[in-house]
Chain A
Amino acid sequence: MAEEKKLFKVTIDNITVEVEPGTTILNAARQIGGEVTPPAMCYYSKLKGSGGKCRTCLVEVAAGSTADPRPMPKLVASCRTTVMDGMIVKNITSDRVLEAREGVVEFLLINHPLDCPICDQAGECDLQDLSYSHGTEGTRFEFQKRTFIKHNLGPYIQLHMTRCILCYRCVYVADQLTSKRVHGILDRGDRAEIATYIEKALDNDFIGNVIDVCPVGALTDRTFRFKNRVWFTKPVKAHRNCSKCCGKVHAWLRGDEILRVTGRKDQWGEVEDWICNECRFEKKNLTDWEIEGPADINRHSVISQGHYSGKIGTTKPTETFPNIMNGRQPKLLMDIHSVSEVNPPDLNLAAIPGPAHSGDFEEKKEISDKQ
């Protein structure tokens, strides 16, 4: 007779779930799903040792366990705290948690450029989502932000350190998926940066995965950068026989053209399986892939806008502008490019190092013109 494993009961925001001993609060919450799940910017279940750093997943432990029901005095990182039997956790039902999380979002944003419209990650950025769900409007930071120049780490990956939130995920990827790490965290405190110290290319069959794990627009795919907005592309599940990796990917299409290839991400934004550089960067023809069908995209994501129906709530809304507005057709009120001072059509914002400040627009336009 198989021995029955004792499960631990844990209650998160008044919902009780039974989990195996050793499960973290965050993973128990993921079993419940929905809003009860704390956001995670640095934890990545497939990367050993990750988590604990960003502090966005802080939760309140109102009772430690049935045996010792005392509350924990400080908020704890749910991604690194394991559950005890009878533990009671408060996430969105705790004002303390919401306030601390608002603080963390603010800290993450003080030095992060607030220029999502010109960032290639916009639309699929964890920090953008986090600041909508847990941040406040406006900024109280009145100083010059910390900036770095962009670096190409070889032909495929660009590092824009200015956008980095130091989650360390890319360092774990290099440690755990490749045999030789060439980038790391240099310097310390608010001067810390991801870098190679001397110009070096990241060159390994699996190093492209750093792009998928990056929660922000710090590490981006050079074969895709600024080719298109993610919400104009259509992600489909595709696979091929690959000798190096699982070969199961999401191909991001515009018309019949594959604009980019990424790993398949689950509902927590984590890849299901790592993919190799060849699949990611070098297979951009439809004939390279067997297309399985549309990828499951959360209908709340901007990427699902007006696309198609899929598994996870991706039913296309039936209402269209004309049916709501009694047959009126939408009309373009004005073309922003014709009136905007900071974003005129002849300015290549992608060429500007650092975030665009309206104040130093003229100087940056010169840089952009030169390039």
Chain B
Amino acid sequence: MGRKLLLEHAGVEGIRYYDAYRKKGGYASVEKALKMTPEAIVEEVKKSGLRGRGGAGFPTGLKWSFIAKPEGVPRHLVCNADESEPGTFKDRYLMEFIPHLLIEGLIVSSFALGSNTTYIYIRGEYAWIPDILEQAIAEAKVNGWLGKNILGSGFDCEIYVQRGAGAYICGEETALIESLEGKRGNPRIKPPFPAIKGLWDRPTVVNNVETLTAIVPVINLGGEEYAKIGVGRSTGTKLISACGNINKPGVYEIDMTISVEEFIFSDEYCGGMANGKKLKACIPGGSSVPILPANLLLKTAKGETRYMNYESLSDGGFATGSMMGSGGFVVLDEDQCVVKHTYTIARFYRHESCGQCSPCREGTGWMEKILKNIDTGKGKMSDIDLLWDIQGKIEGNTICPLGDAAAWPVAAAIRHFRDEFEWHVRNPEECLRRNFGLAHYADPLEAVA
């Protein structure tokens, strides 16, 4: 059994409410942190090696140390709960079932950053979760963990929940800030970065839900102890939301030392492939990261075992590797069609592009149209090269990472499954009749099954 830091008490009855949570040692990190200086907390977080859990994997302590502290200007911490990357549903689990863990992490982090007013920006579709969070906030306040002069430390803090209204792009931190200001979710052009000019032009840090909950064990254990869990620069534990054609979809906490094979096939995690099918491909970190065929998923190009951590998942770069991303783990079995899947992902990004910059606005729509054609048997061989060219002209040339997120899945699908695209072009009638591609990608897996 891997070590659990976030979901340790997830199964305890009534853990959603204050009393049960407190009985299990909840809010101890606040007691500890308020006796420290904010600088010392930032130092602990740096030592812990904790990396942002939203997708980019940027070191949290370093991000915190960038926040500007001009005299007399309030600073803000904003919690990014706009979880919308296809395949990702881990933050929802944390907020829905252990809301106090997030509130606890937020209080400590607010203290470290000097934020007296902290906001949780949650995606609009999670419409029932703000009630859960607001209840947890109210309970915390009644028990003296929020409000004025918390535990006599002189630190004041309020937390408010704000609902978005349906826009993936608001998961990008500057778009989130715009949205929180009541505007369209158009990402800002950087610099300036939020740490200098963020919410209402004040210094702001935006962190993912899971990152902020991880602050609790970082403080409880101390940064150095936390850093001992995991491997290399992948410290601590990571939540993985697993879905697709597996026996046990769900949210799992892993300590980043287990192999991908173990994660998919062991009963402790995904429980193997559903319906006895073979593994064909997997998107290991949310829809924007490169899809990998089974052989490259379980072993790196060098033939080494691939592990569930930042370094190993990206081993081989985009040519033969992928990314940890947000931890949205989507498994495809031998019957699934990579072309159709890529088309739905392209449609998603087109739908979610804010439309501000031209490569993303026009390019995402163009890719979707071409992929739809190929998927429905109307494609041409030259369309495959055209798609490759278009994704290359979007990637890296946009204001925010949505352009890259839209380009990478298309590039990876063509890179690893080109003959499946070609098969669609060559067999226009058959690809309309049956919704699956070529099973031979699953063959290397014979040994495993």
In the complex, is A directly touching B at CB under 8 Å?
Answer: yes
Contact with A along B73-86 (1 / 0, CB 8 A): 00000000000000
Point out which of A55, A77, A108, A187 has the most chain B C-beta atoms below 10 A from its C-beta: A55
Which residues in window 374-404 of B have CB below 8 A to A? 386, 392-394, 396-399
Q: 1/0 per residue A174-209: CB within 8 Å of B?
A: 000000000001011111100000000000000000
**Which B-chain residue is minimally distant from A77 (CB atoms)?**
B189
Closest to A184 in B: B184
Is B229 an interface residue, CB under 8 A from the partner?
Answer: no
State A26–B364 Cα separation when bound (angstroms).
Answer: 28
Q: B359 to A55, Cβ gap below 8 A? A: yes
Closest to B189 in A: A52
* Chain A interface bracket (under 10, 10 to 19, 20 to 34, 35 or more): 20 to 34
Smallest CB separation, B84 vs chain A (Å): 14
With A52-B189, A53-B356 as given contacts, are A100 and B361 in contact (CB-CB < 8 Å)? no
Does chain A have a CB within 8 A of B353? yes
Q: State the main secondary structure of chain B at its contact with A.
A: helix
Closest approach, in angstroms, between the C-beta of A49 and any C-beta of chain B?
9
Q: Report the separation of the CA atoms of residues A165 and B356 in the bound assembly, to the nearest whole angstrom.
A: 10
CA A51 to CA B363, docked complex, whole Å: 19
Whether B357 contacts A189 by the Cβ 8 Å rule is no
User: A110 to chain B: which residues have CB within 8 Å?
Assistant: 362, 366
Residues of B within 8 A of A166 (CB): 355-356, 358, 361
B335 within 8 A of A: no
Shortest distance from the beta carbon of A90 to any chain B beta carbon, whole Å: 15
**Scoring B residues 313 to 355 as 1 if CB is less than 8 Å from chain A, else 0, what string do you get?**
0000000000000000000000000000000000000111111
CB distance from A223 to the nearest CB of B (A): 31
Closest approach, in angstroms, between the C-beta of B183 and any C-beta of chain A? 11
**Does A111 sit within 8 A of B, measured CB to CB?**
yes
Please name all residues of chain B whose beta carbon is closer than 8 Å to the beta carbon of A100 when the two chains form the complex: 393, 397
| The one of A74, A77, A191 that contacts B355, using a Cβ cutoff of 8 Å | A191
Whole-angstrom distance between the alpha carbons of A160 and B82 in the complex? 36
Please tell me if B59 contacts chain A, counting CB pairs below 8 Å.
no
The answer on a CB contact under 8 Å between B361 and A189 is yes
Smallest CB gap from A192: residue in B? B355
Contacts of A211 in B (CB 8 A): none
Chain B residues with CB under 8 Å of A107's CB are 358-359, 361-363, 366, 393
- Closest chain B CB from A62 CB (angstroms): 16
CB of A103 within 8 A of chain B? yes
Residues of B within 8 A of A56 (CB): 358
Q: CA A139 – CA B353 in complex, angstroms? A: 23
- Does A54 make an interface contact (CB < 8 A)? yes
Q: Which of A75, A80, A188 contacts B354 (CB 8 A)?
A: A188
The reply to whether the CB of A140 lies closer than 8 angstroms to some CB of chain B is: yes
A108 touches B358 (CB 8 A): yes
- Of the residues A74, A75, A77, A108, contact of B362 by C-beta under 8 Å: A108
Contacts of B271 in A (CB 8 A): none
Q: When the two chains form their complex, are residues A190 and B354 in contact, meaning their CB atoms are under 8 A apart?
A: no
| B289 sits at the interface (CB 8 A) | no
* B396 touching A74, Cβ below 8 Å: yes
Contact A190 B189 (CB under 8 A): no
A106 touches which one: B351, B352, B393, B398 (CB < 8 A)? B393
Cα–Cα distance between A165 and B359 once the two chains are bound (Å) = 11
| A352 sits at the interface (CB 8 A) | no
Indicate whether B249 reaches chain A with its CB closer than 8 angstroms: no
Which A residues lie within 8 Å of B365 (CB)?
189-190
How long is the Cα–Cα vector from A192 to B185 in the complex, in angstroms? Answer: 13
Q: Which residues of A contact B392 (CB under 8 A)?
A: 103
A143: contacting residue among B350, B356, B364, B369, CB under 8 A: B369
Asked if A271 CB lies within 8 Å of chain B CBs, one says: no
Cβ–Cβ contact A52 & B184, under 8 A: no
A75 to B77, CA, bound (A): 30
Known: A52-B189, A104-B397, A107-B361. 11 other contacts (CB 8 A): A54-B357, A55-B359, A99-B393, A103-B393, A107-B358, A143-B366, A165-B358, A166-B355, A166-B358, A188-B184, A188-B354
**20 A-B contact pairs sorted by A residue (CB < 8 Å):** A51-B189, A52-B357, A55-B358, A55-B397, A55-B399, A77-B189, A80-B189, A103-B359, A104-B359, A106-B393, A107-B359, A110-B362, A165-B358, A188-B167, A189-B352, A189-B353, A189-B354, A191-B355, A192-B354, A192-B361
